[in-house]
Structure 1
Amino acid sequence: MSLTKSLRRILDDRKITVAQIARQSGVPAKTIYHWLSGQQPRKMEHLFRLCDTLNISVEELYGRQRKNPTKNILPKEVLLQELNAGVYEVILRPLKMTEGP
């Protein structure tokens, strides 16, 4: 599916006008109208902003569905590195219970 058809379908499904999505994303309405008329994007930043606003991937914007949507986009090593970015020491010891203040 082309960008034109896919974008038109997404906007129709979500009942969003070009003016609304332009305001929300910061992408000029004229640019979005050009895409809807069949022109290819000139600035990737505009595509990324539109995708972020619509909460979809660039592949989805172009009408391509992921074969395995649950598969991580980033490699496992990168995800683990980000997860472990903050290293903390955790000490477990029994809590002493006391009665009264």
Structure 2
Amino acid sequence: MSLTQSLRRILDDRKLTVAQLSRLSGVPAKTIYHWLAGQQPRKIEHLFRISDILNLSIEELYGRGKKESSADLAPTRLTEQINAGIFEVILRPYGKRQGEP
């Protein structure tokens, strides 16, 4: 996802206008409008200010989101699979059987 698409989605989700974001961050509204039109940012400081105000990382601002490790997802996937009935149960004896030495 590009900065343009991500920023539009974020503004819509948070019900913020470009003018409000500009006032909060100190980044000129014209600059934000340029980003929404597809221009790439020229000053990294502006991205830092916007990401701080929105409480997002720059990666999240670009729509890349937080990279999830397999450890973070394992319990969720396992729960989903259990609830979906994906597992086959195999019963086998544990330890020694009766009558065996």
Q: TM-score, normalised by structure 1?
A: 0.66
Partner of 2:16: 16
Give the drift of 1:65.
Answer: 1.6
Matched residue type, 2:55: N
Partner of 1:2: 2
Superposed CA RMSD:
1.0
Partner of 1:52: 52
Q: TM-score, normalised by structure 2?
A: 0.66
Cα deviation, 1:17-68, whole Å, max 9, x if unaligned, reads: 0000000000000000000000000000000000000000000000002223
Q: May I ask how many residue pairs the two structures share in their alignment? A: 69
The structure richer in helix per residue is 2
Structure 1's unaligned 5+ residue stretches are 70-101
Percent of paired sites with the same residue: 77
Structure 2's unaligned 5+ residue stretches are 70-101
Runs of at least 4 residues off by over 2 Å: none
Matched residue type, 1:3: L
Look up the SS of the partner of 1:27 in the other structure. coil
Larger radius of gyration: 2
Partner of 2:63: 63
